[in-house]
Structure 1
Amino acid sequence: MSSKYLPVENPTKSFWLTAEEEEFSTYRSSPELPSEADTIVIGSGYAGTTFTYFLLKEQGINPSSVLMLEARNVCSGATARNGGHLKPDLYYAHEKFSAKYGAKGAAEIINFEHAHLEAMKELIEKEEIECDFVLTRACDVHLHPKSVNAAISNYKSMIKNPYVTCKKDVQIKFGEEAKIISKVEGSPVCLTYTAGHLWPYKLMVAILKKNIEKGMQLQTNTPVLSTAKLADGRYLVKTNRGEIICKNLVIATNAYTASVEPKFEGKIVPIKGICSHITSSDPNLKTPHLTNTYGIRYGGADGDYLINRPDGSVIVGGAKRHIFPFKQLFYGVVDDSTLIPNTKEYFNNYMNDRFYTWKGFPEVADYVWSGILGWFSWSWYASCFALC
């Protein structure tokens, strides 16, 4: 048991959780835990929820034998704290992937990420889910010479890869064209490609409700304290409310995995990230809505990501230049109840400072929150500083 990796009880308020449904957020299928289940899925975020959605479509599955356990409220972890950004990496990591997996392996990763967008659109439309889903284009802006050179080099090598099937979707622009397309005056180059954005909490809640209608069991505010494989091949799952035995165990706990399986400590490392919601400070004024989503690279691993919501507001995450100096506050921690020093102030006047169409427009960051995501070891994370 690694209790230090369990989620904290008083997380910061994410903008996405303003849609939280009070009654459903603490949903329990039954007052008491069942003693047995065929399949236990730990985690009600993106991975756990979508896994159960497709599992319940399999023939021979008894929905009532599938039990989902959530440590806090429904979908209150990383899925409800990210940027709502559906953005594949179609080029920037190509050379790194090629060196490690070869051209075919790199292409498999890129093609998979690109295909995810179509699959997401198909799911949302098939299930008629209202989650503010918008299909658009991402615009990657590179503002540091090393980042610019890395972007161009990776783009060229990706285009030459015969196994990449989505290369025609990526376009590169330079000079004045890059500035006009991106709306960032300091951008010498930009690359655009298909991307999307949505309200992640609404999507997951809609899918969870469909799963429950089919018979799946859900128990919130039931943290798993430990798991053990028994001699007969089944699993013993210990929670704060009792023990359950199951045949199949699915761990979809992202950064909190070491709290369930201590052997992942030091391998899947919890990292604190920062995100914000920016809107007009004058309710009578509509924001200068930008069509694209964004990835903004400054230098090293310093960068931000951004989506423009259908209501005109903006979600911005990153603030890495203020996060990096505080390793002890963001690396290896699961406390999303606090922010990292200077990160809240980082989003003040953010859009005015970067996009010329926002110049002089009154803006306010009315929500700033933290979230915990799973990462690799510090040695790997630190190496990112030299990548771009």
Structure 2
Amino acid sequence: MTDPGLPHPQPTRSFWLIDNPLSNHRTTVSLPGCADIVILGAGITGASVAYHLTNLDTEGKSLLCLDARAAAGGASGRCGGNMTNSTYRYFKYDMKKYGLDIAKKLRVFELETVSALKKLIKDHGWEKKVELREGGTVHAYLTDLEFNEAIENIEEMRNQGLGHELVIWDRLETVKKTHGEDFVGAVMNPNGSQLSPSKLTIQLLQLALKSGYFNLQTYTPVQSITPYTAESAPASIDISSLKGQPKWIINTNRGSVICSKVIHCTNGYCAHLLPQLRDCIVPVRGQMMITIPSSIPRLWPFGISINRGYIYGWQRNDNMVILGGARGEAGPELEYNCSDDSDINTAIDRKLRQFLPTHFGDMVKSPTKIMMTWAGIMGMSNDVLNLPWVGPIPGLRWEGQYISAGYHGHGMPRAFHCAKAVAQMVLGSKPDVPGWMDEMLPSKKTGPTMKDWARKEDLYKIMRIEDGLAEMERRKEEEDSDTYAEPEIKSKL
């Protein structure tokens, strides 16, 4: 894999970043010459790390956060805003291949992360500030095959004491509640939520800034990290205030910073400064759009996705619909190894514009009126469990570099507790978060490369979406010829 480089200086304009109070924030005019802990990236992970560190016993350590762009200017200001935990999908497969314990922990970790974030938001009264909506998330299905497969996974989850909160809708209920005539059924996850990801990130950063020892410096791209030696360190930097041993020199476009510990929170871009991870965490471009206000009637009070999340979206209180996904339209490469969010893929754009009139044609007429469309960069992990990389980075000259990245498109339901775990490790403790798995530690990672498996997984999704469209056309033909029969649902639980 190639070097993802630094984030593009002129990315596409995201709706989430129209109003960003920390866009150009610099806590101090000059870049500090040293800091005990340096956080790279001011997105949801970096902000969460800062929040957790300022709420743990840091013993007066100084904290510095550097970002190449504005705060929340990366994926945290460009994603879909879906804060929905993984549940039944692939449960039987995971249980068979990795064992029941891992299959359960995979679900518990995301559920507990989402629950912790919602509690934090409510404890601080941020519901309106971050536009939190708790209407659940609906996974709708176009084919009987996939719907029955979903039910089988839910049955197995319930046999293992999980998934009892999930609600299965038959075709009539799905059509009534989604206004989509093409769906054969759906599953409602009531724990699913939606919000403004950038505004949540900003709230976390602002809370950390109140500590008095957290310094945020935007538009300060890191060019390299080198081991500290007395000979290589800039003579002008006074390190007497460091609580620990100086170990690393962070070189930026505005000068250098000497520190004891570094935490990489740059997700899809982390392999730029950590070239040994270029086959481990791969940048993948995703795409979003939002409709013009008042151009769409009220459709759903919940988030919605079709065919294993291939396309997903939700409708804000002002009726603007946010849509994302459809990477299969990009061709075999699926936007893998793409770290350029300064442009969009026109084929994906067409697919997203067609989504509402195709599946909700009785409510939404073509063409869909779009206000904005933008791109963002995810970090896909080569971990066979799709798990992020969280913890100390092995194999370096000195200890003291850590990472929390590679969320595989699940940043919102993973990053907050991953950040807590890495903050605990930075301070010398073991991870203490519900559902934690040592398989997240970089030192424990094994498995095939991204090329071998993750791309095939997405190709499988693409084939299934095409199957779904074919099934939809077949069903419509049968309905027109009066031969259509309501499909038998394997189990309604």
User: Matched residues in 1 for 2:146 and 2:317: separation?
Assistant: 30
Task: Report what 1:276 is aligned to.
Answer: 289
Deviations 1:21-60 (A, max 9, x none): 3xx3111122322221111110101111011101101124
User: Matched residues in 2 for 1:278 and 1:371: separation?
Assistant: 18
Please give the secondary structure, in 1, of the residue aligned with 2:187.
strand
CA contact (8 A) 2:143 2:184 kept: no
Please give the secondary structure, in 2, of the residue aligned with 1:238.
strand
Shift of 1:362: 7.8
Task: Report what 1:189 is aligned to.
Answer: 185
TM-score normalised to structure 1 length: 0.89
Closer/same/farther in 2, CA of residues 69 and 100 from structure 1, 3 Å limit: farther
Of 37, 40, 44, the residue aligned with 1:39 is 37
User: Matched residues in 2 for 1:274 and 1:245: separation?
Assistant: 37
Of 380, 389, 401, the residue aligned with 1:375 is 380
CA contact (8 A) 1:182 1:190 kept: no
Identity of aligned residues (%): 27
User: Matched residues in 1 for 2:148 and 2:294: separation?
Assistant: 38
User: Matched residues in 2 for 1:217 and 1:156: separation?
Assistant: 49
Higher normalized helix content (fraction of residues): 1
Task: Report what 1:150 is aligned to.
Answer: 149
Task: Report what 1:254 is aligned to.
Answer: 267
Q: How many residues align?
A: 373
CA contact (8 A) 2:354 2:366 kept: no
Task: Report what 2:102 is aligned to.
Answer: 105
Task: Report what 1:13 is aligned to.
Answer: 13
Closer/same/farther in 2, CA of residues 291 and 235 from structure 1, 3 Å limit: same
Task: Report what 1:171 is aligned to.
Answer: 167
Of 55, 58, 62, the residue aligned with 1:57 is 55
Q: Does 1:340 align with 2:336?
A: no
Task: Report what 1:288 is aligned to.
Answer: 298
Of 310, 317, 334, the residue aligned with 1:310 is 317
Q: Does 1:245 align with 2:319?
A: no
CA contact (8 A) 1:136 1:196 kept: yes
Larger Rg: 2
Residue pairs, 1:106-121, within 5 angstroms: 106-121=103-118
Question: What is the RMSD computed on CA atoms of the aligned residues?
Answer: 2.3
Please give the secondary structure, in 1, of the residue aligned with 2:289.
strand
Shift of 1:61: 3.6
Shift of 1:147: 2.9
Shift of 1:152: 2.6
Deviations 1:216-245 (A, max 9, x none): 101111111222445767222222222222
Please give the secondary structure, in 2, of the residue aligned with 1:25.
coil
Higher normalized strand content (fraction of residues): 1
TM-score normalised to structure 2 length: 0.71
Task: Report what 1:85 is aligned to.
Answer: 82
Q: Does 1:71 align with 2:68?
A: yes
Task: Report what 1:25 is aligned to.
Answer: 23
User: Matched residues in 2 for 1:131 and 1:254: separation?
Assistant: 22
Shift of 1:295: 1.4
Q: Does 1:386 align with 2:460?
A: yes
Closer/same/farther in 2, CA of residues 185 and 222 from structure 1, 3 Å limit: same
CA contact (8 A) 1:16 1:199 kept: yes
Please give the secondary structure, in 2, of the residue aligned with 1:97.
helix
Closer/same/farther in 2, CA of residues 383 and 278 from structure 1, 3 Å limit: same
User: Matched residues in 2 for 1:363 and 1:333: separation?
Assistant: 27
Higher relative contact order (CA 8 A, sep 6+): 1
Shift of 1:334: 1.0
Structure 1: any 5+ residue segments left out of the alignment?
none
Deviations 1:312-368 (A, max 9, x none): 1111101223123454xx221211000113222223353232125624488411111
Closer/same/farther in 2, CA of residues 112 and 350 from structure 1, 3 Å limit: same
Residue pairs, 1:208-223, within 5 angstroms: 208-215=205-212, 216-223=214-221
Please give the secondary structure, in 1, of the residue aligned with 2:99.
helix
User: Matched residues in 1 for 2:58 and 2:112: separation?
Assistant: 28
